Structure 1
Amino acid sequence: MSSQDLDAIACAACTAAGLTAPDLEPIKVAENAIYRLPNSRIVIRIAKPGQRGAAERELLIADWLRDSNVPAVEPADIATPFVMIEDRPVTFWKELSEHRGGTATEIALALRRLHALESPPFLSALDPFVRLDKRIDAASTVADHDGQWLRQHLDTLRENWAEQPDGLSWGPIHGDAWEGNVVTTNDGTTLFLDLERTSIGAPEWDLVSTAIKHTSFGWITRERYTRFEQAYGFDVTDWTGFPLLRDIREMRMTCMAAQAAASNPTHVNQAQLRIDCLRGRRGPRPWAGWEPIP
């Protein structure tokens, strides 16, 4: 779908919600398009087709977190923060005040607060492999032998996931807890964004996101990681299940890059580097060269 089509959906959604959109500003126009209405301090999110249930659930999660005194992005104060335009679910959110990515300590403390909650009935179990098959299928720039290896590796990870060792008690988790999704406002409030992956699962899944920044990629120092695990009170890298969750996270990052390369040739080298790392062609961890994909 073109950016013009998404612009039209955003405008139609505003009309359906009783808002005017003369100053609609795109923030990100990709799989999930995001716009802002500066004069209303509202952010609009357009989800992919077929994601109605997930979009409605995100609003439920946001309300639950607010009622549980866990800071998170909040639905907009309008009559209906959810509308359907054609086959696209559209949700409306309060725009955040100025903020930055959370520090290691801030993320750890926010996760402790979230993980201590009782699980609400509308949360489902974590699926760490969601959409990976489709991402591999869409990775048209990946060589056949690498694509076959990715599928075999995915099968192995699924088998191992079914027999993962015991760890911390399962409960509510964010599902994608990195500093882009756990932010701190100028007044010092640390809060969760992007609640799409919030589930019932192993708390270790949230902790691995920060751990691999040190162990897999060298993005953060040992000292910074130490602050993280000390603030949380548990070092996930000492857990026997850490290698499995690490491998799944790396696989998710690799499949995302491989799919992105199919539509944007500037990502081809990054996707291949990630595959080469997973296949043992780049030596042991930490690997150099992994870069964020917008």
Structure 2
Amino acid sequence: MTEPHLPGGYTSDELTTLLAQACEELGLDGGRPRLLRGHTNAVVLLGAVVLKIARKGTTPQTLERTVALVRWLQDQGFPTVPFHPTARQPLHLADGALATVWTYLPQPANPITAADLAAPLAALHRLHTPPVPVRQLDNLTAIRRSLATTRTLDAEDWDFLSHRADQLEHALTQVEYVLAPSIVQGDPQHRNALHDTAGDLTVLCDWDTVALGQPEWDLVTVEIHCRRFGYGPRHWADFADGYGTDVTTWPGYRVLRDIRELRMITTNARKAAHTPGSLSEVQRRIKGLREEEDALLWSIL
């Protein structure tokens, strides 16, 4: 029987080997590693260091672009989780595995709210174009790429999602944006921000999805997380007040919302083969789309 894959697509033995190698490289004893996040990458706490092991197959160029971007953000004084100051970035581990090394920020009891995201996200959208390579945001291409490699859906669900992508691609050509293009985080949400208690501010993290595009995409993403994951309308209203724009009143909102939700579903469908138990949630979300249940609560995957 094949061993189920763990975060990043690594087996438990592979992950143990990578952690031991990283500890040796960083001069850590590696006594009690703790998995902080494990959906796509393996994010592990090692003492006062957070090691983010990129998913299998990540190229050095991809991580080098992320490192260059985060260093630029730090140079701008932007509120991002900082790299560990002494670690080599990125870290090259066994069998082509790659990792980045971050400073651990202990979190207080109060969780991140949507309102906490408003100031750093607005600051990000005001930045000039960075002098490092950043991809263009293209949700529809990402959706089609996920569908092309998905092996967990039946033909009826696959056809439904593919047809929906075609419809939304056409609808997107009619959307007129009102905000200036900018750098976008790509997946701003409660779990991709942290409290920095030393500086009494909120910092953004997880720069894997950063791109150049329309700020409306980021705003729609925050709204979806408030509505779909049970945070409630007050969370969204407080964010919109803090940011200064309520994207739900904009005529293009529904098209971008539907594309963003479709991307979330197709991404999780693609990953379902390596995430035991997630397929039933993906199927429940697809059923909700069919029945136009805009208020259906989703479970976090």
- TM (normalized to structure 1)? 0.87
> Does 2:52 align with 1:45?
yes
Distance in 2 between the 1:259 and 1:79 partners?
33
CA contact (8 A) 1:136 1:255 kept: yes
Is the 1:52–1:88 Cα contact (8 Å) retained in structure 2?
no
User: 1:197-208 residue pairs with structure 2 within 5 A?
Assistant: 197-208=209-220
The residue that corresponds to 1:67 in the other structure is: 75
Structure 1 position 142 matched with structure 2 position 153: yes
Letter in 2 for 1:102: I
C-alpha displacement of 1:213: 3.9
User: How far is 1:95 from its partner?
Assistant: 1.1
- Per-residue CA deviations over 1:162-202 (Å, capped at 9, x if unaligned) read 55312200112111110101222344320001011122111
Which 5+ residue runs of structure 2 have no aligned equivalent?
1-9
1:81–1:93 Cα contact (<8 Å) kept: no
CA distance change for structure 1 residues 217 and 98 in 2, over 3 Å: closer, same or farther? Answer: closer
Does residue 118 of structure 1 match 2:128? yes
- The aligned residue for residue 292 of structure 1 is 300
Q: Hey, what does 1:22 align to over in structure 2?
A: 30
Question: In structure 2, do the counterparts of structure 1 residues 130 and 11 end up closer, same or farther at CA, with 3 Å as the change threshold?
Answer: farther
Q: Distance in 2 between matches of 1:213 and 1:37?
A: 29
Aligned partners of 1:292, 1:256: CA distance in 2, in Å?
Answer: 13
Report the TM-score when normalising by structure 2: 0.85
1:31 to 26, 32, 40: 40
RMSD: 2.4
In structure 2, the partner of 1:105 is 115
Q: Which amino acid aligns with 1:235?
A: D
1:249/1:21 CA distance change after superposition, 3 Å? farther
Structure 1's 18 and 110: CA in aligned 2 closer, same or farther, altered over 3 A? closer
1:67 CA drift (Å)? 1.6
Q: Of 63, 66, 72, which residue of structure 2 is paired with 1:55?
A: 63
Secondary structure of the equivalent of 1:200? strand
The answer to whether the Cα contact below 8 Å between 2:184 and 2:211 also exists between their aligned partners in 1 is yes
Q: Take 1:45 and 1:269, find their aligned partners in 2: how far apart are those partners?
A: 28
Q: Give the structure 1 partner of residue 242 of structure 2.
A: 231
CA contact (8 A) 2:150 2:270 kept: yes
Checking the alignment, whether the CA contact within 8 Å between 1:3 and 1:29 is kept in structure 2 is no
- The letter for the 2-side match of 1:65 is L
User: How far has the Cα of 1:108 moved from its partner?
Assistant: 1.1
Counterpart of 1:205 in structure 2: which amino acid?
A: W
Shift of 1:243: 1.1
Aligned to 1:243: 254
Relative distance call for 1:176 and 1:87 in structure 2 (3 A) is same
Is the aligned partner of 1:173 residue 2:184?
Answer: yes
* Aligned-partner SS, 1:172: strand
- Within 1, Cα distance between the matches of 2:245 and 2:279? 37
For these two proteins, the number of residue pairs brought into alignment is 286
Alpha-carbon spacing, 1:292–1:167, altered in 2? closer, same or farther (3 Å) = same
Equivalent position amino acid for 2:259 in 1 = I
Q: Which runs of 5+ in 1 are unaligned?
A: none
